[in-house]
C-alpha cells in the first residue's frame, strides 16, 4: 500500500492497483496496470491538496439538501411484471436469472 503526506511524493505500487482492482471485481492487463499506476499517482498527489485545509472541527456533508428518511405508507402497489424485468437478462430459465453453479 502507499502513504500520503503533504508535500511528499507518494507512490502507488502495483500491489495497490491489484488490491483495489480485486475489490472492484476488475482484472487489469499489465499495460493497464502501468497506466493506472501513473494516473492514480498524479490524481492522488493532486487531491492531497485537501490536506492544506484544517477540517478537524468540520462536519461532513453527505447531502446538500437536508434529507431525512423518506417514508411512504405501507400500501401494496403494482410492481413491474416479471417478464419485463427479465427481458434484459443475458441468461434466464423458467422465469429466473441463470447463473453458474455456486453451491457444490
| Residue 63 sits in the site that holds another protein (CB under 8 A) | yes
Cell 472492484, residue?
24
Whether the Cβ atoms of residue 10 and residue 41 lie closer than 8 Å to each other: yes
Cell 499506476, residue?
37
Cα-trace Rg, the chain: 23
Cell 405501507, residue?
74
| Residue 62 sits in the site that holds another protein (CB under 8 A) | yes
The single residue among 7, 46, 76, 79 that binds another protein, judged by CB under 8 A, is 46
Q: Footprint of another protein on this chain (CB under 8 A)?
A: 1, 4, 16-17, 20-21, 23-28, 32, 35-36, 39-40, 42-44, 46-47, 49-53, 55, 58-65, 67, 70, 72, 80, 84-85, 87-91, 97, 99-102
Amino acid at each position: 500500500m502507499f502513504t500520503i503526506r503533504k508535500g511528499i511524493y507518494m507512490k502507488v505500487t502495483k500491489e495497490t492497483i491489484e488490491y483495489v482492482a480485486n475489490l472492484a471485481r476488475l482484472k487489469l492487463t499489465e499495460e493497464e496496470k502501468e497506466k493506472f499506476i501513473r494516473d492514480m499517482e498524479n490524481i492522488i498527489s493532486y487531491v492531497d491538496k485537501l490536506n492544506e485545509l484544517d477540517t478537524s472541527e468540520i462536519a461532513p456533508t453527505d447531502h446538500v439538501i437536508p434529507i431525512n428518511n423518506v417514508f411512504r405508507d405501507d400500501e401494496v402497489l403494482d410492481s413491474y411484471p416479471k417478464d419485463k424485468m427479465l427481458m434484459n437478462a443475458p441468461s434466464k430459465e423458467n422465469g429466473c436469472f441463470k447463473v453458474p453453479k455456486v453451491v457444490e
